Amino acid sequence: MSLSQYLIEEQLKLPQATGDFTALMSHLVYAAKIVSREVRKAGLLDNILGSTDQTNVQGETVMKLDEYADRIFTHTLTRCGHLCVMGSEEQEEIVPVPTGYKIGKYTIAIDPLDGSSNIDANVSIGTIFSVHLRSSPQGTPGTKEDLLQKGAKQRAAGYIVYGSSTMLVLSVGVGKGVSGFTLDPSCGEFILSHPEMKMPESGGIYSINEGNYNYWSDEVKNYIRDIKSIEGGRKPQSARYIGSLVADFHRNLLKGGIFLYPNDTKSSKYPKGKLRLLYEVAPMALIAEQAGGMAVTVDGQRILDLQPSELHERTTFIVGSKKEVEHFLTFVRK
């Protein structure tokens, strides 16, 4: 089954469906194919590798492929007639629908190319997206409030991982589960390769940047020490950390495990955590929960219950197999 057929079958299950969501997703998939094509040849074209002399809203050096991906997704989606407003990691302010184009009923928040510091090293990178129904009146220009909605209300969420193959992992909402589609370059279609994805209930992998050890809270330190323990003949968990959220998350989704990005308690670098709630953490949290996993903050709040207040706000992120996250929570929930 192709992704197009899957989306149409999902649409047919909803008597009230108008086809707008299917059309929106089709435009997203088109843009993803274009970005995938450019990522695949990044090493060959010197005009898109390396860094520009600019920094993005995060203060990070913008890699040319970042800019390219942002342009492709922004141009395609704001003109497709099914969005009222868009948010992008690469753009400080909300991105409106250009004058003269139809205003739709959905919003999308996107990280066009996450993990971009790895592009030159040929490490897997990805796109992460989150779709909501607008909350403001139909037909009017979308607002920031249309984007600032709780993750539990997402109409869809997913990511594209540009790895050994290009895969799109998607949940079309709460209760809809997770499906994985692999891009077949020979026909340019995403094919259903991983139906009904389930995160193993436990897993032997933990992913955290141990270089930040001295910034962690005592609770996080105690947890990491515990899962590395060999006392009483225990088997320590394996450390796997790519430094690209999509890649680390995708591996744990398939194999089981836990990913942690806690906050810095002893530095001003990331006092609230590094990852972005709207277009990195909330969509990944929906995927995790819909695949049977869990996603919480470092103090045990459910990610999907968080009310965003700013477009680029950061949060701590603990996500993975249900038993692994529950074990983490015994260290932070007293």
Question: Would you list which residues are annotated within the binding site for Mg(2+)?
Answer: 89, 111, 113-114, 280
Rg of the chain's alpha carbons, rounded to an integer?
19
CA 97 distance to own-chain centroid: 23
Residue (30 or 241) nearer to ligand P6P, CB? 241
Nearer to ligand P6P, 117 or 193 (CB): 117
* One residue of 87, 112, 115, 203 binding ligand P6P per CB under 6 A: 115
Asked if 148 contacts 308 with a C-beta cutoff of 8 angstroms, the reply is: yes
Q: Is 134 in the site for ligand P6P (CB under 6 A)?
A: no
Q: Which residues are annotated as a binding site for substrate?
A: 114-117, 209, 241, 274
- Applying CB under 6 A, the site for ligand P6P has a residue count of 9
Q: How far is the CB of 108 from ligand P6P (least distance, A)?
A: 19
Alpha carbon distance 173, 251 (integer Å): 22
Which range touches ligand P6P (CB under 6 A), out of 133-141, 153-161, 167-175, 237-245? 237-245
Least distance to ligand P6P, CB of residue 161, Å = 11
**Residue number, 102 or 269, with CB nearest to ligand P6P:** 269
Residues numbered 242-261 forming contacts with ligand P6P, rule: CB under 6 A: 243-245, 248
Q: Is residue 117 within the footprint of ligand P6P (CB under 6 A)?
A: yes
Ramachandran bin of 199, using left for φ above 0, alpha for ψ from -120 to 50, beta for the remaining angles: beta
Kindly state the smallest distance separating residue 50's Cβ from ligand P6P, in Å. Answer: 16
* Contact yes or no for 272/313 (Cβ under 8 A): yes
Q: Which range of residues in 190-198, 228-236, 241-249, 318-326 is near ligand P6P by CB under 6 A?
A: 241-249
Which one of residues 10, 70, 90, 114 is an interface residue with ligand P6P (CB under 6 A)? 114
CB of 245 to ligand P6P, least distance (A): 3
Site residues for ligand P6P, 194-223, by CB under 6 A, read 209
In whole angstroms, the minimum distance from the beta carbon of 116 to ligand P6P comes to: 7
To ligand P6P, the closest distance from the beta carbon of 228 in angstroms equals 18
Binding site for ligand P6P (CB under 6 A): 114-115, 117, 209, 243-245, 248, 274
